Structures are given as structure tokens and as C-alpha cells.
A and B are shown apart, each in its own frame.
Chain A
Amino acid sequence: MSISKGEQMDTEIITEAIGTLTVNKLRTSLATLGIVIGIGSVIALVSLGQASAQAIQSQIQSLGSNLLTVQPSGQNQGGVQGAAGGGTTLTLEDAVAIKTSPQITTVSEVSPEYSSRTQVTTGRTNTNTQVVGVTPVYADVRNVTVESGNFITDSQVNSMAKVAVLGPTVVEDLFGENANPIGQTVRINGQTFTIVGITASRGGTGFQNQDDMIWVPITTAQKQLFGASHVTSIAVEAKSADAMVDAQNEVGYLLLSRHKLKNPENKDFSIFNQQDLLNTVNQTTGTFTTLLAGVAAISLLVGGIGIMNIMLVTVTERTREIGLRKALGAKKKTIITQFLVESIILTFVGGVIGIGVGILVSYLYSYFTSSVFVVSPNSVLLAFAVSAGIGILFGWYPAQRAANLQPIEALRYE
């Protein structure tokens, strides 16, 4: 019986609080606005951070998974380490050795590549793009799919054929939109190449855009185009993600012995791990997201102080009312509860609206930038808890002030 009376009292206090809040609608909505903006920006900014993190991750993963990249490093010359990728120490034979050596057990595919930027022209137009000499496995290793025609074949590599596969951006630059130039020719470095294939668009931007590339047989690139005997990188695909470390070690030891280097510190190549890159990027975007959330948290704090300010004004303004309530029999606890409930309702409503606004903003962002739409349930839960917590935290002091008012003083207050 006493429990049901207590519950009834509680619902009564909530109705009372809602009544008080609806009486002064402008003030209530302004107080709530601070929390709406705070919670909304936490949700929106965390979502934006996570969306860009996912976008970068999927871009990296689309470049091929389980991938190691071996690049020559500039040799030590008088103690000065040359730039990575600048050396000429890796050869096609190294690639063949990695593929065929009995010491290597964890590698499935090896793709030697010779890559250089150069001028590409047709009759009227020209562009400057990345020309990559490849073998047929490149398509598998780098996840390249051909939309029309064919990719480079073994026989083309063996015969040093002057054939080229174009990325969609290159096609657009040279032949215009929606052109199908298979069978036509382009001039690369002044030599005529027949177009045999066009790759599917990956919609990628920035960082190693695979739509803006031309692929030719690696032998053609080395001998005919650039007059080089080395390769600029060897992509090594491990058999599984777990085998990445073993593959890295095996390839490293093989190349050291092939290059007759005893001390690993003098190695003339470096091996990059796709996973390392992914981890670095994850770390960076994680920091970025935390930073954004931090900024948003500050606005949430400001919103909380706004609530406290409004509640303090309310307590002062309602001094007489508090005095009356105490004279009529309200106990300290009842007054505290009433004011706490008011501030919790303010922050709670603000929190709910803020979550809606945050989700809407992240949705609009992803809609207009055609990026991924992520709303992390964690940030929603956190925002919810924080908004209720702010109600208690910033409502507590004003509620205490109200409850400690002496009924006589409060009744006398003009």
C-alpha cells in the first residue's frame, strides 16, 4: 500500500514538473536547445568520423587484401639512406624467385610491377598518367576487374606486345565520356599501343586512384618504354591474413640472400604490409574521431551549464512558490525531486531531439557526399546516458538551493 502511494507521489511529481515546464515554453525550449545542439553534434561528428574511417579502410582494402609490397630502397651511399622506391635493386628474377623458391611456403601470388608517370596521347588529346607494366596476376592481386576486352595475357608479356589496358578515367580524358576505344590506339612515350581492354570503375578518389592508370605488359614497359631492367615494386599476396608475418620474413630472407647481403640492416629493399597501413590509418582516424567527439563534448558541457543557469533562475524566480510548497507540507526530498525531475526532463527531451538531429545530419551528410551512413549505437547510448546525467549533475545544485530555502524567507521574498 505504502509502495503504491509512493509511486503515485512520483507520477504526481512528474506531472507537476511537466506542468511547470509547459507554462514557460520559450524558456524551456531555449534551455533544451543547448542540449539538443550538444547531443546532436556528438552524434553527428562521431558518425562523420566513423564514416570517413570506413571509407578510407574500404579504399585500402580494395587495393588488395593480404598484400605485401616489396620496394627497392635507395642504397646506403656514404651513410645516406636513399628514398624508398627510388632504387633499381629489384628485378623480374627476384619476383620469379619469390614465386618459385622452395623456401617460400606462404605466398600465393607474386606480381612484379614497373610503374612510371608519362605522357599519353591520341590524335587530338593527351593526358599525363601512371603507366604500369604488369603480368596477368596483377588483376587478381590488385583486385582489378576488366569491364570490356581483356587484361594483359602471358603471351603478350612474352612477346613484348604493344597492347594497353586503360582505366575509365584515362578513357574519359582521351576519348570522352562513354567511349569504347577497344581496337583503337594510343601513343605512350611516342610509341603506338593497341587498346585491348578497359577496367571497371572503382569510384576511388585520391590516393592511388586505380581508375586513372594504363596497364601494359611488364616486358614492354621495361624494354620498349623506359629502357629499364629493374622493377619498381613487387606485390606479394600471402595465402591468408595470418600468414602475412611469415610471408614477410620468408620474402625478406630470400631477397637478402639473393642480393648477397648478410646484415639485414643494409637491406636494399623494404617490405610494406597492407595491414600496417590499415592500422596506421585506423589510428589516425580514431584520433580524429576522438578529437571531434571532444569538441562536441564541450558544446554538451556548455548546454549542461545552460540548463543549470536556467534552473537557478527558476529557483530564484519561484522562491515564493517553493516557500508556499514547504508551508503546505512539501519535505526537502520532495522539493529536490521536483527540481531534479524538471532538469532531467529538460535534458532528456533535449537528448532525444538531439539524437534525432544528429542522425539526420549524418544521414544528410552521407546522402550529399555519397559516403557511408554509419550511426554507432554506442554514441547514441552514450549521448542518452550523458544527457540524463547532465540533468542530474547540473540540476542537483539548483535543487539543493531550492530545498534549503526556509519557508518563512521564501514566503517573504518579493
Chain B
Amino acid sequence: MAAIIQAKNLSKVYKTGDLEIVALVDVSFEIKKGEFVAIMGPSGSGKSTLMHIVGALDTPTSGTYILDGEEVQKLSEDELADIRNRKIGFVFQAFNLLPRRTAMQNVMLPMIYARIPKEERIERGKKYLHMVGLGDRLEHTSNQLSGGQQQRVAIARALVLNPAILLADEPTGNIASTQAAEIMEIFQNLNDEGHTIVMITHEADIAEHAKRIIHIKDGKIEKDGNEHKQRRANGHRNNN
């Protein structure tokens, strides 16, 4: 299958005055269409930096990053915004819904930036909110929804523009464990339907829902593989 993400020799160096902080060193990997990848690592390992580059929120200091056929590392700020809009569906740890807006208004926001006509926005917004099981809460505002429900609105929002990848940053970090399981179920269903998912997490039991885990440590890929699949088959039940 075609590679959706091709990262070659990615490096990222932050400069603060005379101090140079190396966050990523020569990282290369590929993610194919339909994969469900977890990126794991302790804090300070560089996984957030990697997620920012993968999410086109930031550009690497060196190396090339090709997302769905487009070379992202040389794009301008506004072009990056366009790439994020069309190709990436974000799911954040803190949900990041617009406060005091309804679920529908939140889900329709990226479609406004994509200049989709209003009728279609409403139609698609309803469709995706139904899909995440919130068909009866279209007009609820964010503060009227539980953490799990808010994250489901965020997932619907991430999906409405049919992105190349779904990029989730600690998607269950802020919600109760029972609801976390529901969220992971949604992710797995989406993956089964063919969506490519990249998930950043530091929780091993969440990472195990993925088919492939990339371990990051000190800015380098420490381990990358499907070798845990066996472990998952055994460990999944134990963890639950």
C-alpha cells in the first residue's frame, strides 16, 4: 500500500539564545495508508516535537517530510494551514472545543475554513456526529457534555473533511477510563473502515490498541515494529 507519511532524516533543533536543544535526531519512518500507529515515549523524548511535525504544526530543521504526496517541510505558514485543514484531523488531549458553542458549530468550524457551502456543512456535521454516537446532542454546548462526549465531538470534527490521517495527541489523557475505552473503540472502528491513525501516548495500555508502536527516546527512534502484536493478543485481556 502507498505510504501516506514519508519522513526522511528529520531533525529538529530549538534555539534559545546561545542554547541549542536537540529535540529530534535523524528520524526516518514511513506510515502506510490504513495503519494504526502509536508513538510512545517518556516526556522529553521528542514525541511531541515529532507529532507537531507530522501534524504540519511545525517544520523540521532538516530532513524531508512528505504527507500524502506533498512536501511539507518547505511550505509557508499559510500553506501549512491549508495542509492541516485538508489532510489532518486533530484530536487533542484537552479536546479544544470552542467554549459556549454547540457540538454542530464545533464540527462545522474546519468546513468553514475549507469554504464548504452551508447546506453541506450542516449535512456532514450531522452525519459525523451521528457516527460518533452524538446524534441526539447536536445543539448541546461543550460545557453541557461529558469529557468523553466532548472528545467524540472532537473526533467528529477531525473527520468531517475526510483527512489523510487522524492525528491524536493523548486522546484519553483527560477522560475517565470507562469513557476512554469507548474512545479507543471508536478509533479501532475507524481504523477498520480504513482510516489512517497516528496516536501519541505515554500509556502502554492505550498504545496497545494500535497495530504498530514507534518508541521514541532522546530524539531517536528506539524501537519500531509490529512485534508487540503477539503481546497484544495476550496482554489485551489481562489489561482490561
Contact = CB atoms under 8 A, between A and B. Distances in A.
A23 B90 contact: no
Interface stretch (A67-75, A329-337, A355-363): A329-337
A328 B52 contact: no
A12 B52 CA distance: 29
Given A326-B81, A327-B84, A327-B90, A334 B113 contact: yes
B65 interface: no
Interface string A1-35: 00001101100100010010001000000000000
A104 B96 CA distance: 92
Given A8-B117, A328-B110, 19 more contacts: A5-B115, A9-B112, A9-B115, A12-B112, A19-B101, A321-B98, A324-B96, A326-B81, A327-B57, A327-B96, A328-B84, A328-B113, A329-B82, A329-B113, A333-B78, A334-B113, A407-B84, A408-B52, A408-B57
A402 B100 CA distance: 20
A99 interface: no
Given A325-B109, A408-B57, A411-B92, A331 B82 contact: yes
A162 interface: no
Nearest to A13: B112
12 contacts: A5-B117, A8-B115, A9-B112, A16-B112, A23-B100, A324-B96, A328-B157, A329-B84, A329-B86, A329-B114, A408-B58, A411-B92
Contacts of A325: 109, 113
**Chain A contact surface mostly:** helix
Contact of B55 (A6, A12, A323, A327): A327
B85 interface: yes
Interface in B111-153: 112-115, 117-118
A9 B98 CA distance: 19
A330 B113 contact: yes
B77 interface: yes
B213 to A, nearest CB: 24
A331 B78 contact: yes
Nearest to B86: A329
Interface string A88-115: 0000000000000000000000000000
Interface residues of A, number: 26
Interface in B47-75: 52, 55, 57-58
B57 A407 contact: yes
A8 B118 contact: yes
Contacts of A326: 81, 84
Interface residues of B, number: 29
A330 B80 CA distance: 10
Contacts of B84: 326-329, 407
A331 B98 contact: no
A324 B55 CA distance: 13
Contacts of A19: 101, 105
Interface string B92-106: 101010111100010
A326 B55 CA distance: 12
A328 B109 contact: yes
B115 A332 contact: no
Interface string A351-369: 0000000000000000000
Shortest Cβ-Cβ A-B pairs, 8 listed: A329-B85, A329-B113, A328-B110, A324-B96, A331-B78, A5-B115, A331-B81, A23-B100
Given A329-B85, A331-B81, A324 B98 contact: yes
Interface in B154-206: 157
Interface in A309-357: 320-321, 323-334
Contacts of B96: 320, 323-324, 327, 411
A90 to B, nearest CB: 83
Interface string A285-328: 00000000000000000000000000000000000110111111
A18 B84 CA distance: 26
Contacts of B86: 329
A341 to B, nearest CB: 14
Nearest to B117: A8
Contacts of A324: 92, 96, 98
Contacts of B157: 328
Nearest to B82: A329
A329 B92 contact: no
A27 to B, nearest CB: 13
A244 to B, nearest CB: 69
Contacts of A5: 115, 117
Contacts of A327: 55, 57, 84, 90, 96
A179 to B, nearest CB: 74
Contacts of B99: 23, 321
A329 B117 contact: no
Contacts of A328: 84-85, 90, 109-110, 113, 157
Contacts of A6: 115
Q: Which of A16, A327, A331, A411 has the most CB of B within 10 A?
A: A327
